Structure 1
């Protein structure tokens, strides 16, 4: 068994918490993906997922394995990168799994154009895992969601984007000009994993309750398969996709906020932080909200030009 490949499959399913969405992300059919996860469970002698007709959840063994699996996959990819490209400078970057392929591609292309001597190595991972990876030195800089608790880390300029509601195109609310949160009563909600985005979960669900919407069930994952199937709704920016409808929320009660984060400032980190602000504004429709720094304090700037401390 190719253990690294199977761990890569495991990480995709663990981040999506949906076998169909993970299969799409990996570019493969769902049945062989399910078979390979089963083979990995047999090899390790543990059950990694609790599966039901409506939801997939990590078991305790799965949660313990996830961090190690990500690290193993990242290290193997790093070895391949070094073998292909020599010992040049690599900037390891964490990005949210649902940031969008076009935005990630623009970050890579923009950084390559400005700094051809440095190769950007993005890894898709949620905020909580990025904070851990930054603290451990496994990545150099990340794009994290707010609110975020990050003692000892520096936070870049905070950008914001108002979110609407994503619905199946045949949902009756798709005919409305705008939707009040209370109108979503009875509909289940799809959100990124609570363990990966604890601050986002708490903030969004509190705002939903404040406006009269208490989802009967909260699903976790990055793909929109449940929304397209009419089994759940989700919050996010406007997007066009067959079978999907986006409607603004009355009063814009839900806002997505992100910033870069790093532990040690270098010229490469500073360059990425500056580029990320530009790309997120141009490609993701985000706008300035303010500037941050080490969590709870002002941003510190090194005396070396262009280097964030």
Structure 2
């Protein structure tokens, strides 16, 4: 039996929202139609995917497994569609580079463009939420990531590390110090997943501010800084990001004992592309040598 990708998308929508009505609204279909499609998928797979009550919609063990497998499968299908559409277009051959805030990718992009004048090299700014997703779904060919991320299905090339700092309100009790320790920050409201930015043994000392209703939807750096300035909590950022977003109502301090942020270049492990290999070589070389030592002579393009 071949999996129906449309039914799979419907299933993921319900699983992510845990609500048939909200999923139907998002999909722009009637709830009755969505219910019939999910029941049809359950019949085809011969498993029950959801536990339905009057108040909640939860996943069965089979549903949890299908969700884990469905998300990368749908992302790969979308990537195939995007790459085929790009290759079949009438415009120039394209190559897109994703990058996280604070990272400067212009030197590598410039070298790639000089080597391949016929190639339209574009960039796409990403976030913590979608830096891997844009690789999986084909929006970018390569992405500059800030680790840690889920590396399943990716080839990851470490590039550099940089210090991380804590960002505080300008009138915070610690703001006048030259540096702080993790002990100094104990009990502070961290507006991020503590385990994503701190060693496991230290993460428990900070309160996870994301649980507060007012900050559940924080995604961008700009939003985080607004909440910090308003006194809702603190955030940990790479130094380059904190410096780029300098503003008078917040300050940033070094944190003794805080591991540095790791930056890597990543791409879809299943893709075979000489352009990706070449860009990876450029990115790695630029970390070890001044730009003027990198060979920018045009070369033959490959898809």
Q: TM-score range by the shorter chain?
A: 0.5 to 0.7
Matched-pair contact (CA < 8 Å) for 1:159–1:277: no
Does 1:248 find its partner at 2:248? no
- Structure 1 unaligned segments of length 5 or more: list them: 1-39, 47-65, 195-199, 283-304
**Structure 2 residue aligned with 1:156:** 157
Q: Could you tell me how far 1:201 is from its partner in structure 2?
A: 4.2
CA spacing shift, 1:206–1:44, aligned 2, 3 Å: farther
CA spacing shift, 1:107–1:169, aligned 2, 3 Å: farther
CA spacing shift, 1:277–1:228, aligned 2, 3 Å: farther
For the residue of structure 2 that corresponds to 1:112, the secondary structure is helix
Mapped partners of 2:275, 2:106: distance in 1: 18
TM (norm. structure 2) is: 0.53
Q: Could you tell me how far 1:248 is from its partner in structure 2?
A: 0.6
Which of these residues, 92, 96, 100, is aligned with residue 92 of structure 1?
A: 96
Q: Could you tell me how far 1:247 is from its partner in structure 2?
A: 0.7
For the residue of structure 1 that corresponds to 2:255, the secondary structure is coil
For the residue of structure 2 that corresponds to 1:120, the secondary structure is strand
Q: Could you tell me how far 1:132 is from its partner in structure 2?
A: 5.0
Mapped partners of 2:150, 2:300: distance in 1: 26
For the residue of structure 2 that corresponds to 1:175, the secondary structure is coil
1:43-58 to 2 correspondences below 5 Å: none
**Structure 1 residue aligned with 2:278:** 271
**Structure 2 residue aligned with 1:204:** 198
CA spacing shift, 1:216–1:151, aligned 2, 3 Å: closer
Q: Could you tell me how far 1:189 is from its partner in structure 2?
A: 1.5
Mapped partners of 2:250, 2:282: distance in 1: 31
Q: Deviations over 1:140-195 (max 9, x none)?
A: 2222333334344322134211211111222121101111112123322123xx6x
Does 1:258 find its partner at 2:263? yes
Which of these residues, 203, 206, 213, is aligned with residue 205 of structure 2?
A: 213
Mapped partners of 1:183, 1:160: distance in 2: 24
Mapped partners of 1:227, 1:150: distance in 2: 30
- Structure 2 unaligned segments of length 5 or more: list them: 1-24, 32-70, 211-215, 290-298
Number of residue equivalences: 217
Please tell me the root mean square deviation across aligned C-alpha atoms, in Å. Answer: 4.8
For the residue of structure 2 that corresponds to 1:248, the secondary structure is strand
Mapped partners of 2:188, 2:157: distance in 1: 36
